Amino acid sequence: MNNPNPVKIVETVLRDGHQSLCATRMRTSDMLPMLEALDDCGFYALEAWGGATFDSCLRFLNEDPWERLRTIRKHVKKTKLQMLLRGQNILGYNHYADDVVTEFVKRSVDNGIDIIRIFDAFNDTRNLETAMKATKAAGAHAQGTLVYTISPYHKDSDYLKLAKELVEMGADSICIKDMSGLLAPYACASLVEALKKEISIPVNVHSHCTSGMASMTLLKGIEAGADIVDTALSPFAETTSHPCTESLVYTLKGTERDTGIDMDKLGPIADHFKKVRADLVKTFKLPSNISINPKVLSFQIPGGMLSNMLNQLTEMGMADKYEEVLKEVPRVRADLGYPPLVTPSSQIVGTMATMNVMMGRYKMIPNEIQDIVMGKYGKTPGPISEDLKKLVRRWIVKKTGKTVISPITHRPADDIPPQMEKMKADLAAKGYPNASVEDVLSYALFPEVALAFFKNNR
């Protein structure tokens, strides 16, 4: 049929699918046989880079993430390549200087990225400014992100205000990023309708199946006017990942929102990735029995973190503490002012919850928790617990000897001087005077991990 308004599909099998189900362990060699076939399907975009893939390539797979991107780009010629960027955090776990953010964005686009989905864990737009400007300057599509969560401080009106700020910053589209499967179907319809009334750029719905609602959520979002949705091919779909691509394509077939994607092209690709997943589970000893868990509506941990957390607790011999840690997560989150649980806040809150279960509540307070309380990650959605503030002040006074401790209220990155030249000098001093800009950026984000990789590969 002649369809004037097809739903556009972002296929996530090359990034969020395996990050959610296989701890981000898919190798470039696993992707390579199907890249041309994926390119021929008619997807709006392939999410293929960013998120945890950069770290995982260097740390676990002995791969250069920049080379992975160039390889994918070489084989994917028709379809847009998309990446996930954590604003001022880039792909790391703390804030970096503006010059590092700007150079990273430029090099990402130069190496093949077309669309950059930019988010901040606290939805603090000050932490998105530099990445948004750099993306626009590089000529790429800047997708501004509403990190979705449920709390007393997150309502449709708050998300609408945030979306308008992102439009003013130059966003080319808006993504509702429901990383934990918290977005209920009718809530999605309400939010999409509100956005479509107030903004003129496309709206993308991203939801994980962790609670069991995401397929319904996407459908209600589509009915409400969503332009783009994220899905994953069946072997890397459902549970803590995304709704199944094949199922959604079939659901919309023959309707006014028909995707136009040929189901017959998806089957052979899915067959390949079914074998890939089985191999990853066996090779990396990953959990294969991840199931839907409606309790996520309470503990709110995103899909990718759930598989990693269970894996890490198992390695520590603490798998029996999994449920106890999950119950502690929302308590820590409330103490910290209800930040959405997405990288890096999800890791920080998850680590704190684990330490509280192991040692007793706040017997040890990591630097990252201290930094959140002191405003170094940005403004939290709600107020931070006064008891936690007192504990953190005591820790900092003990550590620094200072007597006056006040949280910052300005943009956190304003306190970070330029870093690129220093990183180049540091890398030269460590034996790499002719390092590429990409290698300098890898070192800037993950110094020890990158050096170990360079030792074996440079």
Which CATH number covers residue 179? 3.20.20.70
Q: Would you write out the chain's pLDDT as a tens digit for each of its 458 residues? A: 567 899 999 999 999 999 999 999 999 999 999 999 999 999 999 999 999 999 999 999 999 999 999 999 999 999 999 999 999 999 998 999 999 999 999 999 999 999 999 999 999 999 999 999 999 999 999 999 999 999 999 999 999 999 999 999 999 999 999 999 999 999 999 999 999 999 999 999 999 999 999 999 999 999 999 999 999 999 999 999 999 999 999 999 999 999 999 999 999 999 999 999 999 999 999 988 888 888 888 777 766 666 667 777 888 888 899 889 988 999 999 999 999 988 889 889 989 999 999 889 999 999 999 999 999 999 999 999 999 999 999 988 888 887 767 899 999 999 999 999 999 999 999 999 999 999 999 999 999 999 999 999 99
CA–CA dist 102, 131 (Å, integer): 6
- What is the 8-class DSSP label of residue 384? P
Residue 403 CB coordination number (10 Å): 7
Rg (CA), the chain: 21
**Does 240 map to a domain?**
yes
Structural domain ending residue among the three candidates 237, 256, 282: 282
Q: Are residues 149 and 29 in the same domain?
A: yes
**Does 290 map to a domain?**
no
The number of CA neighbours under 13 Å toward the Cβ of 348 is 26
SS3 assignment, position 105:
helix
DSSP state string for 22-35: STT---HHHHGGGH
Q: Are residues 157 and 24 in the same domain?
A: yes
Q: Are residues 160 and 207 in the same domain?
A: yes
Specify the amino acid at residue 419. Answer: Q
**Does 140 map to a domain?**
yes
CB 299 within 8 A of CB 353: no
CA–CA dist 359, 8 (Å, integer): 48
Q: Are residues 265 and 311 in the same domain?
A: no
Question: What's phi and psi for 174, nearest 5 deg?
Answer: -120, 135
Q: How far apart are the first and last CA of the chain?
A: 54
**Does 458 map to a domain?**
no
**Does 259 map to a domain?**
yes
Alpha-carbon distances of 21 from 90, 130, 290, rounded to whole Å: 23, 32, 8
The neighbouring-strand residues paired with 232 are 244
**Does 408 map to a domain?**
no
Q: Are residues 274 and 381 in the same domain?
A: no
**Does 360 map to a domain?**
yes
Structural domain ending residue among the three candidates 367, 398, 429: 398
| pLDDT for res 393 | 92
CA–CA dist 22, 46 (Å, integer): 18
User: pTM of the entire structure?
Assistant: 0.94
Q: Are residues 89 and 234 in the same domain?
A: yes
Q: Are residues 173 and 260 in the same domain?
A: yes
CB 203 within 8 A of CB 195: yes
195: tokens are: 């956005």
Q: Are residues 82 and 142 in the same domain?
A: yes
**Does 407 map to a domain?**
no
What pLDDT digit, counting tens, does each position of 155-203 carry? Answer: 999 999 999 999 999 999 999 999 999 999 999 999 999 999 999 999 9
Q: Are residues 270 and 186 in the same domain?
A: yes
Q: Which residues contact 227 (CB under 8 A, 6 or more apart)?
A: 7, 8, 173, 202, 203, 204
Q: Are residues 422 and 393 in the same domain?
A: no
Structural domain ending residue among the three candidates 235, 250, 282: 282
Q: Are residues 130 and 99 in the same domain?
A: yes
Q: How many domains does the chain have?
A: 3
Q: Are residues 443 and 384 in the same domain?
A: no
- Structural domain for 272, as ranges: 6-282
CATH code for position 320: 1.10.472.90
